[in-house]
Every structure is written in C-alpha cells, then in structure tokens.
Structure 1
Amino acid sequence: MGLLSSDNNEDEDKPAFDPLAGEHEQRYEYASVAWQTGVRKSKQSPDKVLNEYAANGWQLVERITNNGHTQRLIFERPVEQS
C-alpha cells in the first residue's frame, strides 16, 4: 500500500491531499540572501547570520549552488493571516 493509498475504496476518485483546499491555506514570504556579499563579507559569523534569520521566524529552505559553491540562501516564513 502506498503512502497516499486508502483502504476505503469510496475515496478513490478524491485526491489524497489538496494543498489549495480550505479557507485557511498557509501563505509564505521569501528572502534571498547572497552568500558572498550578504553572509561571508558581513562582520558576523555565518552561524550568527543564520541564527538571526531563524530568530525572526525564517527557515532555510534552499541553497543555490554553482559548481559546488554556495551562491544564495533562500529562506521562508509563514505570513500571518488576518
């Protein structure tokens, strides 16, 4: 049985997960930080920069590389719903 499978056959025509369903869908905002100019050339350690983002609710979701070298860091955090 697959992860999205169900023993209940009457739900076969319904998607197992619909991220757009419901009134309370979570939205995110993103920040992109250049590794060389935004992190390495700052006077703070990379750990301190990353921890500051985390303290402000940001989560690292992607590292963009070029020839094995980090170019940018992509962060996301939930947008508060009104």
Structure 2
Amino acid sequence: MLENKSDSIVNKVYEFRVLKRMSQSDLAEVVGVSKQTIFVMEKNNYFPSLLLAYRIANFFGVSIEEIFTYKKGGNENAE
C-alpha cells in the first residue's frame, strides 16, 4: 500500500492534558518523552509511535481512537 502524503493523524492530547490540569512537562515525564515532544504533538507537527500513543491513551484511561484520529487524504471525515 502506498503512503498518501496528505494522510495525517490529528490528536486531542492538548484537550485531555488541560482537563487533567497538567503541564506539558508533567505529561512528558509520565509517558517518558521530552516536553518538546508533547509540544510538537499538540501542534500536530509530530505523529507519535504506536507505543507512545498507547502510553498516552492508557494514562488518560481512554482508547487510542479517543485521542488520535486518522485523516485520509486531507478528507474531513475520519476513516
């Protein structure tokens, strides 16, 4: 399967983090990454590894799909 360069992953990391009243540094420490990683992820400039996505979802007690959404080819509808 060829990768479509316009495919992306959008996330709700910021929303979940703010609801827990956590700083980027706090979340980074819990999931084992740098504050910069959380910062760029929240700006949708970084797609986390599957392992990191699971760590984040598990920390917030939700499924990966509740935080990370695959967007195919720039389409507004998630697939």
**TM (normalized to structure 2)?**
0.28
Instruction: Flag the structure with more relative contact order, 1 or 2, with Cα contacts below 8 A and sequence separation at least 6.
Output: 2
Q: Which has the higher strand share?
A: 1
